[in-house]
A and B are shown apart, each in its own frame.
Chain A
Amino acid sequence: MKETILSIPSPFGPSIDLLKFSWEGNSRNETISIVSGLHGNQLNGIYLCSRLTHFLDSVEAGKEPNYYLNGLINIIPAVNIPAIQEGNSLWSFNDLDTNLTFPGNKYGEISERIAATVYQHTKNSQFGIILKSANSHYDDAPHLSCLNLDRLTKDFASSLGPKILRGTKNSTILHLSLHKQWLEEMSAVVLSAGKPNHLDQSLCETLFSGLVNSLLWTGVLGNDLKKPTKYQLQFTKENNEEFIVSHSGGFFLPAVKLGAEIETGQKIGDIVDLYSGIVLEPFLSQSSGHLITLRDYPIVYEKELLAILLNKSKLSFWPFK
Chain B
Amino acid sequence: MKSRIINSYQTPSGQRVEVVKQSFSSFHKPPIKRVAFVSGLHGNELEGIYLCNLLTNYLKKLQNTQPEKFLGEVHIYPSVNPQASAIGVRLWPFLSVDLNRQFKNTSGNSLARSSAETLIKDLKASADIVVDCHASNLHLKEVPQIRIIEGFHKKLIPLAVQCNVDLIWVHPPSPVFESTLGYNLNKSKIPTLVIETGIALRINQDFVSQLFKGMLNLLYHLGVIVTDKIQPKVNYPIVIQPSQVVILQSDFPGFFIANTDVKKNVSKGDIIGKVLDSMNGEILQEITAPRNGFLFTLREHPLIYPGDLLARIALKEMD
CB of B303 within 8 A of chain A? yes
Distance in angstroms between the alpha carbons of A256 and B249 in the assembled complex:
53
The 8 Å CB contact of A173, one of B96, B105, B111, is B105
**When A10-B253, A109-B307 are in contact, do A248 and B109 touch as well, CB less than 8 Å?**
no
Q: A136-B96, A303-B111 are known contacts. Are A173 and B12 too (CB-CB below 8 A)?
A: no
For residue B281, CB closer than 8 A to chain A, the reply is no
Shortest CB-to-CB span from A233 to chain B, Å, is 21
CB distance from B12 to the nearest CB of A (A): 4
Is the Cβ of B304 less than 8 Å from the Cβ of A11? Answer: yes
Most chain B C-beta atoms within 10 Å of own C-beta, residue among A107, A113, A249: A249
Partner of A251, one of B12, B105, B179, B307: B12
Query: Which residues in B have their C-beta under 8 angstroms from that of A172?
Result: 103-106, 175, 178-179
A260 within 8 A of B: no
Q: Does B175 lie within 8 Å of A175, measured CB to CB?
A: yes
| Interface locus among A123-131, A148-156, A212-220, A294-302 | A294-302
Assess A89 versus B101: contact at CB under 8 Å? Given A109-B309, A243-B109.
no
For A5, list chain B residues within 8 Å (CB). none
Q: Flag if A174 contacts B107 (CB, 8 Å).
A: yes
Contact of A11 among B97, B278, B309 (CB under 8 A): B278
Given A9-B252, A176-B176, A304-B111, is A171 in contact with B105 using a C-beta cutoff of 8 Å? yes
| Listed residue (A11, A171, A308) with the most chain B CB atoms within 10 angstroms of its CB | A11
Assess whether A107 is in contact with B101, with CB atoms less than 8 Å apart.
no
Q: Mark A97-114, 1 if CB is under 8 A from B, else 0.
A: 100100000011110110
The docked-state distance in angstroms from the alpha carbon of A249 to that of B13 is: 7
User: Is there a chain A Cβ closer than 8 Å to B58's Cβ?
Assistant: no
> Which residues from chain B contact A303 at a C-beta distance below 8 Å?
9, 111, 114
Q: How far is the CA of A166 from the CA of B106 in the complex (A)?
A: 15
CA distance A245 to B109 in the complex (A): 9
Q: How many interface residues does chain B have, given as a range?
A: 35 or more
Q: Beta-carbon contacts of B187-204 to A below 8 Å, as 1s and 0s?
A: 000000000000000000
CB of B128 closer than 8 Å to a CB of A: no
The chain B residue sitting closest to A100, CB to CB, is B101
Provided the pairs A109-B305, A172-B175 are in contact, do residues A11 and B253 lie with their beta carbons within 8 angstroms?
yes
Given contact pairs A108-B307, A109-B307, A109-B309, A12 touches B278 in the complex (Cβ within 8 A): yes
Separation in Å of the B83 CB from the closest CB of chain A? 9
Is the C-beta of B70 less than 8 angstroms from some C-beta in chain A?
no
Which residues on A sit within 8 Å (CB–CB) of B278? Answer: 11-12
- Are A9 and B12 touching (Cβ within 8 A)? no
Contact between B9 and A275, CB atoms less than 8 A apart: no
Q: Which residues of B contact A135 (CB under 8 A)?
A: 108
Is there an interface contact between A171 and B91, defined as CB atoms closer than 8 Å?
A: no
Residue B95, interface by CB 8 Å: yes
Residues A107 and B105 in contact, CB atoms below 8 Å apart: no
Main secondary structure of the interface of A (DSSP, over half): loop
A250 in the interface (beta carbon within 8 A) = yes
Encoded as 1 (CB less than 8 Å from any B CB) or 0, chain A from 76 to 93 comes to 000000000000011001
Residue from B175, B176, B304 whose CB has the most chain A CB atoms within 10 Å: B175
Give residues of chain B (150-193) contacting chain A, Cβ–Cβ below 8 Å: 175-176, 178-179
Pair B109/A305 contact, Cβ less than 8 Å: yes
Contacts of A243 in B (CB 8 A): 109
**Are B305 and A11 in contact (CB-based, < 8 A)?**
yes
Separation of A172 and B104 alpha carbons in the complex (Å)? 7
The docked-state distance in angstroms from the alpha carbon of A120 to that of B94 is: 33
Residue of A nearest to B249 (CB): A107
Q: Which of A54-85 touch B at CB < 8 Å?
A: none
Residues of B within 8 A of A94 (CB): 139
Residues of A within 8 A of B107 (CB): 168-169, 171, 173-174, 238
Q: How far is the CB of A294 from chain B (nearest CB, A)?
A: 14
The smallest C-beta distance from B112 to any residue of chain A, in angstroms, reads 10
Asked if residues B253 and A9 are in contact (CB atoms below 8 Å), the reply is yes
- Say whether B96 contacts A169, CB under 8 Å: no
Complex: A304 Cα to B108 Cα, angstroms: 11
Which parts of A227-269 form the interface with B (CB within 8 Å)?
A: 238, 243, 245, 248-251
Q: Does chain A have a CB within 8 A of B10?
A: yes
Q: Is A95 an interface residue (CB 8 A)?
A: yes
Q: Is B14 on the interface with A (CB-CB < 8 A)?
A: yes
Chain A residues with CB under 8 A of B11: 249, 301-302
B12, A249: Cβ atoms closer than 8 Å? yes
Cα of A250 to Cα of B98 in the assembled complex, Å: 24
Contacts of A10 in B (CB 8 A): 253, 305
A52 to B13 CA separation, bound complex (whole angstroms): 44
A301–B305 CB distance below 8 A: no
B306 at interface by CB-CB < 8 Å: yes
B175 contacts A301, C-beta separation under 8 Å: no
Q: Enumerate 5 A-B pairs (CB-CB under 8 Å) in ascending A order.
A: A113-B307, A173-B102, A303-B9, A305-B109, A308-B109
Q: Which 7 A-B pairs have the closest CB atoms?
A: A302-B10, A172-B178, A175-B175, A171-B107, A11-B278, A249-B10, A172-B179
Further 20 A-B residue pairs, CB within 8 A, beyond A8-B307, A9-B305, A137-B95: A8-B305, A90-B91, A95-B98, A108-B307, A110-B305, A110-B307, A135-B108, A136-B96, A168-B107, A172-B103, A172-B179, A173-B101, A175-B175, A175-B178, A238-B106, A245-B109, A249-B12, A249-B14, A302-B11, A305-B108
Chain A interface residues (CB < 8 Å from chain B): 8-12, 16, 89-90, 93-95, 97, 100, 107-110, 112-113, 135-137, 168-176, 238, 243, 245, 248-251, 273-275, 299-305, 308
**B residues at A contact (CB < 8 Å):** 9-14, 17, 90-91, 94-98, 101-111, 114, 139, 175-176, 178-179, 249, 252-255, 278-279, 303-309
